[in-house]
Structure 1
Amino acid sequence: MRALVATLCVAIIAACSVPAFAADPDQLFAESTAAAKEGNFQVAYEKMKEVWRLRPSYDVAANLAFYERKLGKTREAAEHLELALSQFPVTGEPVVRDRMKQDLDALRAELGRVEFDVPSGTIILVDGEERGKTPLKPAHVYVTPGKHTFEARRPGQRGSASIDVATGQATTVTIPLSKYEGDDDSGDDKKNGGVVTTPDGSSEGIPLWSGIVVGGLGLAGIGAGIGLAVVAGSSGSSADEAAAALPSRTACQGDAPHESCASIADDLETRDLLSNASMGAFIAGGILVAGGATLIGLSAAGVGGTENAAFVPWIGPGVAGATFAGSF
């Protein structure tokens, strides 16, 4: 018995575009704070969300909670503020911690808290939105006052309950589970972990189109890398030309830098960002081209029959790739 497992993955820039926000969390934090001081809480919130993605910490969670409360996102504010308090450093200012606790109490007074009496490993949904798997951390979920439908899902089991949640109250919901034989728990492909088994004696092998798709994605990645490299080079040239035109080498130092210095810094930052992205696209493209050639070769060799094989191309927001696995 010989085994082959090949996994081909790539994360390439799908649209070859520069991100809307820079990848510097400190800069984004400062920009968010500045937007909040100007009263633009929506912009402040969006930038702070990006900071959270890059550097999740208690202070970022606390700022998110503040902006969410300003924008009427009471539930999200309570969740982030509770998280911030759970991570608050023991050496932190007691006055700040006490103020955060007061704010959380005020938010809880506007919401309801629900705990669930279900087995561990149960997925919980509130009004169709997945909120986590038990045991939940924290043990409750926040909901707005009123009637809500709570669902519990486990392999082969389902259950639901609809109740009215009172303002400022904590409630425990028991969701009875019953046998469920829906699509997600039936079918041989589910039982085998998503691997499709071809019937004994079948002449089907790895399809030729799988290699063509993977190879095509690889060529697209290489093309993206070339485009990004060209733009990065252009930004670098612009920065060099502007730097050469400065009156002195120290024109960008001190308290009053030359007016061109900001533009030079932006060009250099763009050059570095795009150069890194270009390198990633080249590497990913090369991997996919090689993978596509491998799949085409396996297809031509007639790999198939009684083997277990699965090939899944995938494309998502800003990413593309494929996964192939087989044993024979």
Structure 2
Amino acid sequence: MPTSPADAPAATSSEGERAAQLYREGNRFYDEARFAEAEARYQAAWDLQRSFDVAGNLGNVELEVSQPREAAEHLLYALNTFPLGEREEKKLFLQKRLAEAKSQVGTLRISVNVDDAEVLIDGKRIGQSPLEDQVFVDPGKRTIEARRSGARTSTSLLVAKGSDQSIALSLDAGSNIPLVVAGGAVGLLGVASGVTFAILSTAKGKSAAAEPFGSARRHDLLDTQTTLANISFWSFIGGGVVLAGTAVYAFSASSRTPPASQAALTRLHAAPLVTADAKGVLVGGSF
């Protein structure tokens, strides 16, 4: 029920003054049962300055002009922002009108498994996840969609008058960037260690070659060379496995679909490469 002109929103600026004037005009048209004119004035006031009383009056009159979905949205806003100390009978009136509006539309409670996903209904954006409020839709077939970073998912359903449904949309969350970075760093450290120990092993081998055959010094250097070569080998193995696992995770968790002209990477493998002339890690993929 519209409040009296004395209850109009406080005017704090020229925009606020205009909103207050439109609000009072809406009250006057409502009292004269000129609901279309009242709805237009309240809507204009709402566009200028949002408040619980403008929302409540707008939602109330929207019910009178057969706009139940819009009415439900504005009445819910009015109740969510209902101020402390306001008259209880006004709150009860808004709750009653909201129930009337909801009986003529469908209520959806939409959840998405990731935050910051764009949520659309029938191609129209309604916000980003997580959606805190109920979403009101006209009865009929509706398509609910979520999008984020190139990934998308959608579902269609029939909405009946007065229905209340929960919709859960699941998007591929994509790769965990910190995990990918950490895995890449550990893998590269392993490969770098392999290179370092391979260089040290080679140096020990050269030093051993300069020592007399059968000498204790030569024997010690050769033992050290073997130990360093083994450490280098397993460092390459460890780093390569970590790099391969990180790459597989990043590719498998990616939410983007590669172009049809490109084959998907289905397997990645790594192996150490140690020869007389070079040392490193060999990475290959199956396509």
Secondary structure of residue in 2 paired with 1:120: coil
Of the candidates 41, 58, 65, which is equivalent to residue 64 of structure 1? 58
- Distance in 2, matches of 1:47 and 1:154, equals 38
**How far apart are residue 36 of structure 1 and its match?**
2.4
RMSD over aligned CA atoms reads: 2.3
Equivalent residue, structure 2, for 1:275: none
**How far apart are residue 107 of structure 1 and its match?**
1.6
Structure with bigger gyration radius: 2
- Distance in 2, matches of 1:175 and 1:181, equals 19
Of the candidates 92, 95, 107, which is equivalent to residue 98 of structure 1? 92
Equivalent residue, structure 2, for 1:45: 39
Answer yes or no: is the 8 Å Cα contact 1:158–1:180 preserved in 2.
no
Alignment of 1:234-313 (within 5 A): none
Of the candidates 152, 156, 163, which is equivalent to residue 150 of structure 2? 156
Equivalent residue, structure 2, for 1:170: 164
**Is residue 2:76 matched to residue 1:82?**
yes
**Is residue 2:67 matched to residue 1:73?**
yes
Answer yes or no: is the 8 Å Cα contact 1:123–1:152 preserved in 2.
yes
- Distance in 2, matches of 1:50 and 1:166, equals 31
**How far apart are residue 22 of structure 1 and its match?**
10
**Is residue 2:138 matched to residue 1:144?**
yes
Identity %: 33
Answer yes or no: is the 8 Å Cα contact 2:116–2:129 preserved in 1.
yes
- Distance in 2, matches of 1:102 and 1:39, equals 20
User: What's the TM-score, normalizing by structure 1?
Assistant: 0.45
**How far apart are residue 175 of structure 1 and its match?**
2.7
Structure 1: stretches of 5+ with no match in the other structure: 1-20, 183-328
- Distance in 1, matches of 2:73 and 2:100, equals 13
Answer yes or no: is the 8 Å Cα contact 2:121–2:143 preserved in 1.
yes
Equivalent residue, structure 2, for 1:28: 22
Q: What are the superposed Cα offsets for residues 182-230 of structure 1, whole Å, 9 maximum, x if unpaired?
A: 9xxxxxxxxxxxxxxxxxxxxxxxxxxxxxxxxxxxxxxxxxxxxxxxx
**How far apart are residue 85 of structure 1 and its match?**
0.7
Q: When the two structures are aligned, how many residues end up with a matched partner? A: 161
**How far apart are residue 23 of structure 1 and its match?**
5.8
**How far apart are residue 96 of structure 1 and its match?**
1.2
Cα pair distance change 1:154/1:91, threshold 3 Å: same
- Distance in 2, matches of 1:135 and 1:22, equals 31
- Distance in 1, matches of 2:92 and 2:63, equals 18
Answer yes or no: is the 8 Å Cα contact 2:111–2:130 preserved in 1.
no
Secondary structure of residue in 2 paired with 1:149: strand
**How far apart are residue 162 of structure 1 and its match?**
0.4
Q: What are the superposed Cα offsets for residues 226-277 of structure 1, whole Å, 9 maximum, x if unpaired?
A: xxxxxxxxxxxxxxxxxxxxxxxxxxxxxxxxxxxxxxxxxxxxxxxxxxxx
AA in 1 matched with 2:72: A
AA in 2 matched with 1:54: L
Alignment of 1:84-233 (within 5 A): 84-118=78-112, 119-138=114-133, 140-177=134-171, 179-180=255-256
Cα pair distance change 1:112/1:48, threshold 3 Å: same
- Distance in 1, matches of 2:146 and 2:16, equals 40
Which has the bigger relative contact order, CA under 8 A and spacing at least 6? Answer: 1
- Distance in 2, matches of 1:109 and 1:33, equals 26
- Distance in 2, matches of 1:131 and 1:181, equals 25
Secondary structure of residue in 1 paired with 2:167: strand
